[in-house]
Amino acid sequence: MAVGTNIKTYFEGAWHDADVPIMGAAAHGAWQGTTVFDGARYVNGLAPDLRAHCDRVVESARALMLHPGLTGAEIFEIAWEGLKRYRTDAAVYVRPMFWGIDGGAYGIIPAETEAGFCICLEEVPLAPPEAAVRLATTRFHRPVLTDNITNAKAGCLYPNNARMLAEAMSKGYDNALVRDAMGNVAETATANVFMVRDGVVFTPIPNGTFLNGITRQRHIKNLRADGVEVVETVLSFDDFRAADEVFMSGNLNKVTPVTEFEGTHYQHGPVTKRVRELYWDWAAREAA
């Protein structure tokens, strides 16, 4: 089932105005789960950090021992070809993907042949600024690099995220605040996370259990350039309970305010609003 509408797919060297079948039943990606993707955004003619997302999908493929046949620069050019098929005011989710086709040793290691590739474009509206979420705890945690491919945006990681979300939703909440294997806050089930206390912004320090998101890095740079102190550090649930503001940072909606963490309530505050302003101001300048 598609996430959005008006789907366009780049596959086998051409653009198609449809949700095109891309993977055979015997493909390594289908039965061994060697799939990676990335997500970028096109909003009002802007595609912030698109090149970085294209570079990262290549890095993710290599982390799964796949052999990508395209560079980030080449994927970037192809993506823009597809985006020109949309209205300038369209909100589009840009998703380049690689997957294993042939199996090597024992059928488990991907063969040293070129990985499959496609780009899927879908119109997905950007959530309005006031669209907030409420977080719950979850008994599930992020894996570590020694037991999973945490240095890639890999499809095989997402069933774990799905059960985090399902547990939070079963409690009546929208998302989960997730810990790593050491018990420290890592991120939410769908995005990186920040908190604000006394005007200082805090965020979990990358420790190999979650991706250091491209949008996360952009927010940190923008805030510091604006004179705001940002601290990457070890954080606990109690730290988040003592916060003045909490917001999520992800590609799909860029900034999402959090208004509750299991009984602790937050304002949709000035720092969260400023982060959004800084992001889109930066995006407009970059495109000028």
Taking the C-alpha atoms of residue 275 and residue 282, their distance in angstroms, rounded to an integer, is 11
162 and 266 belong to one structural domain: yes
257, 280 contact by CB (below 8 A): no
Q: pLDDT tens digits, residue range 198-217?
A: 999 999 999 999 999 999 99
Taking the C-alpha atoms of residue 286 and residue 218, their distance in angstroms, rounded to an integer, is 12
Nearest to 160 by CA among 172, 276, 13, 147: 147
Query: Residue 174's domain spans which residues?
Result: 133-287
109 and 213 belong to one structural domain: no
The last residue of a domain, from among 61, 95, 123: 123
161, 218 contact by CB (below 8 A): no
24 and 98 belong to one structural domain: yes
Q: Give me the mean pLDDT over the 137-141 stretch.
A: 98
146 and 30 belong to one structural domain: no
Residues of the chain with pLDDT > 90: what percent?
98
Q: pLDDT tens digits, residue range 222-266?
A: 999 999 999 999 999 999 999 999 999 999 999 999 999 999 999
Indicate the average pLDDT of the chain: 97
Residue 198 maps to a domain: yes
Residue 2 pLDDT > 90: no
How many domains does the chain contain in total?
2
Banded model confidence at residue 79, pLDDT cuts 50, 70, 90: very high
273 and 228 belong to one structural domain: yes
197 and 98 belong to one structural domain: no
38, 57 contact by CB (below 8 A): yes
Residue 1 pLDDT > 60: no
Which pLDDT score is estimated for 286?
A: 87
Residue 78 pLDDT > 90: yes
Which pLDDT score is estimated for 260?
A: 98
48 and 186 belong to one structural domain: no
Q: Which helix (H) or strand (E) holds 32?
A: helix 28-32
Residues sharing a CB contact under 8 Å with residue 248, sequence separation 6 or more, in sequence order: 133, 175, 188, 190, 191, 192, 193, 194, 255, 256, 258
Residue 147 maps to a domain: yes
60 and 151 belong to one structural domain: no
Residue 176 pLDDT > 80: yes
140 and 29 belong to one structural domain: no
198 and 114 belong to one structural domain: no
Banded model confidence at residue 288, pLDDT cuts 50, 70, 90: low
Residue 128 maps to a domain: no
**For residue 95, what is the domain's CATH number?**
3.30.470.10
**For residue 149, what is the domain's CATH number?**
3.20.10.10
71 and 151 belong to one structural domain: no
Residue 287 pLDDT > 80: no
Pull the structure tokens for residue 253: 């909606």
164 and 233 belong to one structural domain: yes
Residue 96 pLDDT > 80: yes
